[in-house]
A and B are shown apart, each in its own frame.
Chain A
């Protein structure tokens, strides 16, 4: 018979009190290319096993002291995680004892005198078995290493995300959010950013899929949204730019469902754009749904920029309202019977609950609905409290109308003097939002001065006045009527789209004077103009609230001059040292 070439080198432990027998067995083992260890009793066997971790054990059944049976039992207890073949070697032919030996944990029974061919056959099996064991162990180790690496990468990714998508906890009672991911990473985000004009922009985005890939889908939006909102871009510009960002940064099958909201309690306006999310809802003081903004647009990233409809829907601001926005994970959250939570779930949760408790009530209702079932999709919702927004604004309002403080040029010294002259024609005016660009310019040239909200307000008012009254010839009186905000905005849009002629000139100069830093803003439009005195008298009638419009400009500036029939307005403003906080 040809000897089988040993492919796997085994470490064998021979437990045998008879030295001659032991030597014989060890010799056979070594001849087969294996390593042989010897223990002459049970206790030593346990000791050697612990130290050497053999691949196979040959055990003499009848030994003095701890017999083979007990040794086998104890050996098994030493390493429960690994099954090592234990072969009883015995001269005993008592079948009852043999059966008992096998029951005691032996994998084979080899009769004495040991037949070499039989032993070799058993060893061959042991080799195969051990080879598999070793392979499994190696794969397990590799898997563990992979897992550790993956966990580490996940941790790093999570940290990175937290930094790139800042939370909006500073909005306190105005905006509350609940983000419950289905896996380690949520593909949903909620972001909120205050614009320089005091309005609050909110974004709730839901990327395709789940987990890390979904979270990566929404990442590009974070910075873009924040930057643009901070510069004062409106919802329309935000939608267009975010759509462009997704289209550019992600493959075509990865889109982002998004709801964008702007609440402006100063301009009395709520704007909503919903592309692919469940309806955005407005609750009144009693918790009834009084307005529902359904998804009327394709999600971000699907259409090219020229084709997207970025127009938001307008609604008058209501101080007693709350606005609810969520991703489909909430509306599709299924209970054990497979029923979706849906709008009915939201309605029921909010019914007869006071506004302050509605946020929690919804969370409790969803958790109850899921009834211990784990959600298959990320659940995200946000609740905007208009009342809290009004309360917040009345606190901040003081900042605008505070008298100018004594000046000290040191904080502005680094900025130096500069002048910017911008001339914009009708075509540009149709497509570009000029004020955020001016704001951006100011931020770069005069970072400290640019933080002054009043300056932003002044620039905005003068520019909007030139565009809306000068070129578009809109009547602010429209705003005072019922649904006036909506009609005004629609009319503004309509006229802007039709505008073919017209120019607006903006001239901003910053100069350091003996009295401090002086900002001069001059805006001229090519419109027909008006009778400055007559118009001035009607200011309160034209503007619904006295804190907006030209009257506000007059409050904030040192001097206001109307020229050329009101087509040119020049104001000067002394920049304060202590900056108003937004």
Chain B
């Protein structure tokens, strides 16, 4: 999976592309740690628009991201969750944990 980080107006945007599964652990963690470390970043947005597959390990990684956000006192949200991504999040009721744009 490709992860690219962009910062704009106090928001760090993590754009994910491809399969979000257990192999992405390190890359994803590095990306959000970098994002949170960015100067003036008040919110981290994970753009799932180009994610074509999401498994339970990915949900676990989102939980870690959420924990990190809380620890840093910064907001975390998910954007462009469509199709299978939305279905998986819904079954797990993660829409109760995250703000979905």
- Enumerate chain A interface residues (CB-CB to B < 8 A): 206, 208-210, 252-255, 257, 275-278, 294-299, 302, 328, 377
A295-B91, A298-B92, A298-B96 given; A257·B64 CB < 8 A: no
B67 — which chain A residues lie within 8 A by C-beta?
252
A297 in contact with B93 given A209-B22, A252-B67 (CB within 8 Å): yes
Q: Report the minimum CB–CB distance from B57 to chain A (whole Å).
A: 5
Contact A208 B59 (CB under 8 A): yes
Q: With A209-B22, A252-B67 in contact, do A295 and B93 touch (Cβ < 8 Å)?
A: yes
Instruction: Please determine whether A328 and B57 come into contact, CB atoms closer than 8 angstroms.
Output: no
Closest to A295 in B: B91
B91 touches A302 (CB 8 A): no
- B residues 20-68 near A (Cβ < 8 Å) are 22, 55-57, 59-61, 63-64, 67
Partner pick for B63 among A253, A277, A297, CB 8 A cutoff: A253
Evaluate contact between A255 and B91: CB separation under 8 angstroms: no
CB distance from B18 to the nearest CB of A (A): 16
* A296 contact from B60, B61, B93, B94, Cβ within 8 A: B93
User: Judging by beta carbons under 8 Å apart, are A302 and B56 in contact?
Assistant: no
Q: Is B72 an interface residue (CB 8 A)?
A: no
- Complex CA gap A254/B57 in Å reads 8
> Most A CB atoms within 10 A — which of B56, B91, B92, B94?
B56
Contact of A252 with B91 at beta-carbon distance under 8 Å, contacts A209-B56, A257-B56 already known: no
Structural contact, B63 and A252, CB atoms closer than 8 A: yes
CA distance A377 to B53 in the complex (A): 14
Interface of A is mostly: loop
B55 → chain A closest CB, angstroms: 8
Q: Given the interface contacts A252-B63, A253-B63, A255-B63, does A208 sit within 8 Å of B56 by beta carbon?
A: yes
Within the complex, which residue of A253, A276, A328, A377 is in contact with B64, where a contact is CB–CB below 8 Å? A253
B64 partner residues in chain A, CB cutoff 8 A: 252-253
> Which residues on the A side are within 8 Å of B92 (C-beta)?
257, 276, 295, 298-299
Nearest chain A residue, comparing its CB with the CB of B96 = A298
Question: Of B22, B57, B97, which one neighbours A298 at CB under 8 angstroms?
Answer: B97
CB-CB < 8 A to A254: which residues of B?
60
Determine the chain A residues whose CB is within 8 A of the CB of B63 once the complex forms: 252-253, 255, 302
Question: What's the Cα separation between A322 and B59 when bound, in Å?
Answer: 32
- Give the CA-CA distance A523 to B96 in the complex, in Å: 43
Q: Of B60, B91, B93, which one neighbours A328 at CB under 8 angstroms?
A: B91
Minimum distance in angstroms from A211 CB to a CB of chain B:
10
Q: Which residues of B contact A208 (CB under 8 A)?
A: 56-57, 59-60
A-B pair count, CB < 8 Å, reads 50
Q: How far is the CA of A147 from the CA of B55 in the complex (A)?
A: 28
Given contacts A209-B56, A252-B67, contact A302 B97 (CB under 8 A): yes
Could you tell me the distance between the alpha carbons of A71 and B92 in the complex, rounded to whole angstroms?
Answer: 70
| A-B contacts besides A252-B60, A276-B91, A299-B92, 5 pairs, CB < 8 Å | A209-B56, A210-B22, A252-B63, A253-B63, A277-B91
Contact B60–A275 (Cβ < 8 Å): no
B97 to A: closest C-beta gap in Å: 7
Contact indicator per residue, chain B 1-33, by CB within 8 Å of chain A (1) or not (0) = 000000000000000000000100000000000
B65 to chain A, nearest CB (A): 9
Chain B residues 68 to 101 lying within 8 A of chain A, measured CB to CB, are 91-94, 96-97
Chain A residue with Cβ nearest B62:
A253
B61 contact from A253, A276, A295, A298, Cβ within 8 A: A253
Q: How far is the CA of A294 from the CA of B87 in the complex (A)?
A: 12
Q: Could you tell me the distance in whole angstroms from the C-beta of A578 to the nearest C-beta in chain B? A: 49
Q: Which residue of A lies closest to B94 (CB)?
A: A298
Q: Is the pair A275, B59 in contact by a Cβ cutoff of 8 Å?
A: no
Residues in B neighbouring A209, C-beta threshold 8 A: 22, 56-57, 60
Kindly state the separation between the CA atoms of A11 and B56 in the bound complex, as whole angstroms: 56
**Which of B55, B60, B61, B94 gathers most chain A CB within 10 Å?**
B60
Contacts of A297 in B (CB 8 A): 93
Q: How far is the CB of B87 from chain A (nearest CB, A)?
A: 10
* B97 proximity list for chain A (CB < 8 A): 298, 302
Would A298 and B93 count as touching, CB distance under 8 A? yes
Name B22's closest neighbour in chain A (CB-CB).
A209
A460 shortest CB reach to chain B, Å: 33
| A377 contacts across to B, CB distance below 8 A | 55
- For the complex, what is the distance from the CA of A206 to the CA of B96, rounded to whole Å? 20
Give chain B residues whose Cβ lies under 8 Å from the Cβ of A302: 63, 97
| Residue of A whose beta carbon sits closest to that of B67 | A252
Q: Is the CB of A255 within 8 A of B60?
A: yes
Distance in Å: Cβ of A44 to nearest Cβ of chain B: 57
State A208–B62 Cα separation when bound (angstroms). Answer: 13
Which 4 pairs show the lowest CB-CB distances between chains A and B? A253-B60, A208-B56, A298-B93, A253-B64
The CA of A278 and the CA of B63, in the complex, are separated in Å by 20
Task: Give Cα distance in the complex from A411 to B7, angstroms.
Answer: 76
Give CA–CA (A278, B56) in the complex, Å. Answer: 13
- Hey, which chain A residues are within 8 Å of B91, CB to CB? 276-278, 294-295, 328
State in angstroms the CA–CA spacing of A377 and B67 once bound together: 27
Give 16 CB contacts A-B under 8 Å.
A206-B56, A208-B57, A209-B22, A209-B56, A252-B63, A253-B57, A253-B60, A253-B64, A276-B91, A276-B92, A278-B91, A295-B92, A296-B93, A298-B97, A302-B97, A328-B91
Bound: A424/B59 CA distance, A: 42
Q: Does A275 contact B22, Cβ atoms closer than 8 Å?
A: no
Please give the distance in Å from B85's CB to the nearest CB on chain A: 14
In the complex, which of the residues A206, A209, A275, A296 has the most CB atoms of chain B within 10 Å of its own CB atom? A209
**Quick one: closest A residue to B63, CB to CB?**
A253
- By a CB distance below 8 angstroms, the chain B residues around A296 are 93
Contact: B93 with A275, CB < 8 Å?
yes
Complex Cα spacing A276 to B93, Å: 7
Distance in angstroms from A334 CB to nearest chain B CB is 11
With CB as the reference atom, state the residue of chain A lying closest to B66: A252
- For B93, give the chain A residue with the smallest CB separation: A298
- Nearest CB in chain A: distance from B49 CB, A: 20
Residue of B nearest to A278 (CB): B91
Most B C-beta atoms less than 10 A away, residue of A254, A294, A298, A302 = A302
A256 to chain B, nearest CB (A): 10
